[in-house]
Structure 1
């Protein structure tokens, strides 16, 4: 008996939040109460045995992670430092500007390529149920998808190291580490069990918000002296951040990704051996919860801006000890120029 015949309900082609909650709950109940299915322990064991990740793939990702560290250093030393000198940034914002400018460059390039794949080449964005067509463990991954997957996986492994040793320390330091670990694990596992199509949708729904996040911080760092010519650009980029974050991470992500992995996958892949169903969905829901948490932080920044208490960087995640008074900043600036 096929999975479609065993499961009486039907999934929605245009789900709402209500459909997500109800259908996902019904699917979970059915999946773990069905007497004919094999045990969860056996499912996990079979899923791990079906991992398709050779040594070349692993070494490629490790190499890319090290390469990103070198590229970031070169970018900060050559490109960003010239901009710092030109715009005469304050000392506290020098390092943060380099961080945001580097991430802005990466996310812009990565998201543009990913959006091209899911929107125009494969049409997964408009018809997310297509990600499960002809799925099988160990299936061939197209080269154009493999490229973005290895780059993204290498970048997030690099980001774990960067958050620990390179980036400025912020209040949500441990949340950021959790985010990078979850994201790197999702990318690694989804490739190994050939959930790379849904992985493209996850990346597409997230990276666009990161573009506007880093752009809003970058222009905010430039707008820290008497010259306020970047103020309007700061408002525009921050407004786009709020809009894109809500649309892509809090609307499209749950309705296109969470619904697809939690509900549609049962119809389309159970007969071929649904791998790591619950663990994979748990990781995606953790990512969604983190998105909600950060959205409230963004709203906090908006509240501070409306009431005139926004700090210099425009980032409410920064530690208080990193904030310098104008006099201290001027002293450090003088020491730097001597």
Structure 2
């Protein structure tokens, strides 16, 4: 019997699965890890024979899937090159941006359009289409689960587009994007993201994956919009306060959205669906704990970056930072470090 300790909440004609508290979720995840450890300890998992079988599963995809994803990745790269050369570079010259801002603007415009589209598509598929109840009832992601199940076409295309975009992103990082101090970290991020998409695809955890994409991508829309306004605030040598204000408002909005989507909905819906619903079961899908562990790592990263954003926002509001600059996560940390160094120097001379 499943011990999910969840109740339903009725809202109009909708029945929503109640989310657990953070404490309940943490307790349930510890119990699931213990349950899994006992399962492996009693000999039901054979080492190293099962390791070989596991790798066979991880390469269970069709040639057509690979060709589609690689073809889309090449298409993204060519499309970005054409748009950058014939539209975005001329736009930067027309607006008389500084060389640094003109070089960075095409990247942010490209990503804003992509993330805006893909998040809108994910929202339509997961929430507004009415075909799925994952958002309202997270435990329903496992209804009819089979490791060999066909992936619905709408979710399949969401996976194909996202996977190909991050493969394109690896190429773009070295040959199209402006090089930053965190570019190596971003490369690692892309590799990890591709791995997560790959594993959840071949193991048929696509329902969970679609929820993860829904809860993470909108923050990137706000981030790129804020960065665009940072680049546009100085045009023709003049400072434009409207863009500075829009950048600050966007950063504040992103901070709020980050908490709601990545630190509230994400753990209490996605991690809940991967842990609590399996308590007491004799069997649950293969790679459950691998997926749970990677999702926990993702949660930890979300908490870390949120703490950096809060400190950054505090320093803006208190005047320690006079304006919002290039808002890329590592840039936030770098700016905080510069601010702290300045504060230490000022203290020495006072």
Q: TM-score, normalised by structure 1?
A: 0.84
Instruction: Quote the residue 2:305 is aligned against.
Output: 294
SS of equivalent to 2:75:
helix
Please state if 1:75 is matched with 2:83.
yes
Contact persistence 1:266–1:274 (CA under 8 A) = no
Please state if 1:283 is matched with 2:286.
no
Please state if 1:61 is matched with 2:72.
no
Shift of 1:305: 2.6
Segment drifting more, 82-91 vs 242-251:
82-91
Shift of 1:39: 0.9
Shift of 1:20: 1.6
Please state if 1:10 is matched with 2:15.
no
Contact persistence 2:93–2:102 (CA under 8 A) = no
> Kindly tell me: are residues 96 and 301 of structure 1, through their superposed partners in 2, closer, same or farther at Cα, counting changes over 3 Å?
farther
Shift of 1:162: 2.2
> Kindly tell me: are residues 169 and 265 of structure 1, through their superposed partners in 2, closer, same or farther at Cα, counting changes over 3 Å?
farther
Shift of 1:295: 1.9
Q: 2:262 aligns with which of 231, 244, 249?
A: 249
5+ long unaligned stretches in structure 2: 7-17, 335-350
SS of equivalent to 1:317:
helix
Shift of 1:36: 5.9
Map residues 1-338 of structure 1 onto 2, 5 A cutoff.
4=1, 9-12=3-6, 13-34=18-39, 38-39=44-45, 41=47, 44-51=51-58, 52-120=60-128, 121-224=131-234, 225-265=238-278, 271=283, 274-306=285-317, 307=319, 308-310=321-323, 312-315=325-328, 317-318=330-331
Contact persistence 2:123–2:214 (CA under 8 A) = yes
Shift of 1:29: 0.2
Aligned mates of 1:252, 1:14 — CA distance in 2: 9
Render the CA deviation track for 1:279-336: whole Å, top value 9, x for unaligned. 222221222222222223323432443323446434463498xxxxxxxxxxxxxxxx
Shift of 1:47: 4.1
Aligned mates of 2:223, 2:112 — CA distance in 1: 8
Aligned mates of 1:156, 1:265 — CA distance in 2: 31
- How many residues are matched? 312
Shift of 1:104: 0.4
Render the CA deviation track for 1:250-303: whole Å, top value 9, x for unaligned. 1111111122123325667x64x5211222222212222222222233234324
Aligned mates of 1:96, 1:300 — CA distance in 2: 25
Contact persistence 2:28–2:279 (CA under 8 A) = no
Contact persistence 1:43–1:275 (CA under 8 A) = no
Aligned mates of 2:28, 2:57 — CA distance in 1: 28
SS of equivalent to 2:294:
helix
SS of equivalent to 1:194:
coil
Segment drifting more, 250-259 vs 281-290:
281-290
Moved over 6 A (4+): none
Task: Supply the RMSD in Å over aligned alpha carbons.
Answer: 2.4
Render the CA deviation track for 1:83-108: whole Å, top value 9, x for unaligned. 31332211111121111111000000
Aligned mates of 1:61, 1:144 — CA distance in 2: 15
Segment drifting more, 253-262 vs 195-204:
253-262
Aligned mates of 1:37, 1:215 — CA distance in 2: 53
